[in-house]
Amino acid sequence: MISEIEAQEILESRDLIAIGVRGDEVRRRLHAAKTTFVRVFEVRVEAPPAALPSRTSAGEVRIVGRPPSLDAAVAAVRAAIALAAGVPVTGFSLADLLSVPETASLTTTCRALHAAGLEAIAEAPIDLPEAEAAIRAARDGGLAIHRLTVNALDSNARIQIVNLARNLQSAVGGIHAFAPLPRAVSVTTPSTGYDDVKQIALARLVADNIPSIQVDWAVYGPKLAQFALTIGADDVDNVSAVDPGILGTRRSPLEDIRGNIRSAGLEPVERNARFEAIG
């Protein structure tokens, strides 16, 4: 782990090459050239499909959206389980589950979702008030927590947020990945690609007790994802599980992500929602 002074120097530096080298050194010490990715099929909580689209191959079926009630959440889980045919099903953000009306507690909610077949919570935002207590409550309800996410990121809290990730891992353990870039991007004060890549490197250097630093393919795109892999990230989330079939086999989502990783000089390994290698 680096010091607070070193972390601040990284944020103030304009030498991306030097910053990237430091992040990549930690990444390669932990993973060598291995780079994992997961193909995700998303199911909207309010409108689960009756069947999977053709040409779908997923390592994770993920329920997204804020459920209006516990009954609606349970119904979405059951529908997703029927679609998944054995593929691990994850779902929801802890933030959304905390706002489900008319439930006794988060543990009660998670216990009902686990009984319906849900395996893990999809997102555990570390900027959630009392995030540690929420993670423990979800696990008490039988659901795994594999990754930490960030809902929104104040430009003045970049060091604080990666320190929080490290501290949460020390407190609760069992976290496989940390996605340090925000899920929601501010319209008034958007970050730049420059800020984003420094945040990836900073996360890798500070949260060195978390195995993987993750970047979202769908949210941040292939160019940023590829660069992130050269400065500390080693896992790519949310690659499309559906191949439209309009660009040919060599331009399928699977070949696109594999090519992206190989172009960064790394070794692609497909995984599932349990962070198990599947290809």
Domains of the chain in start order, with CATH, are 4-269 (3.20.20.70)
162-200 confidence digits (pLDDT tens): 999 999 999 999 999 999 999 876 655 556 778 899 999
The residue-averaged pLDDT of 20-36 equals: 96
229-253 residues labelled b (16+ CB within 10 A) or e (exposed): bbbbbbbbbbbbbbbeeeeeeeebb
**pTM reported for the whole predicted model:** 0.93
Q: What is the DSSP letter of 52?
A: P
Confidence band of 234 (pLDDT split at 50, 70, 90): very high
Chain mean pLDDT for the chain: 92
Q: Give the burial class of 37: count Cβ atoms within 10 A of its Cβ; 0-12 exposed, 13-18 middle, 19 or more buried.
A: buried
User: Percent of the chain scored above 90 by pLDDT?
Assistant: 80
pLDDT band at residue 7 under the 50/70/90 scheme: confident
Handedness of CA 176, 77, 131, 111 (dihedral sign): negative
Task: For residue 253, give the 3-state DSSP assignment.
Answer: helix
The mean pLDDT of 219-234, rounded to a whole number, is 94
Q: Is 222 exposed, middle or buried (0-12, 13-18, 19+ CB in 10 A)?
A: middle
Task: Tell me whether residue 147 is exposed, middle or buried, using C-beta atoms within 10 angstroms of its C-beta: 0 to 12, 13 to 18, 19 or more.
Answer: buried
Instruction: List pLDDT tens digits, range 212-222.
Output: 999 999 999 99
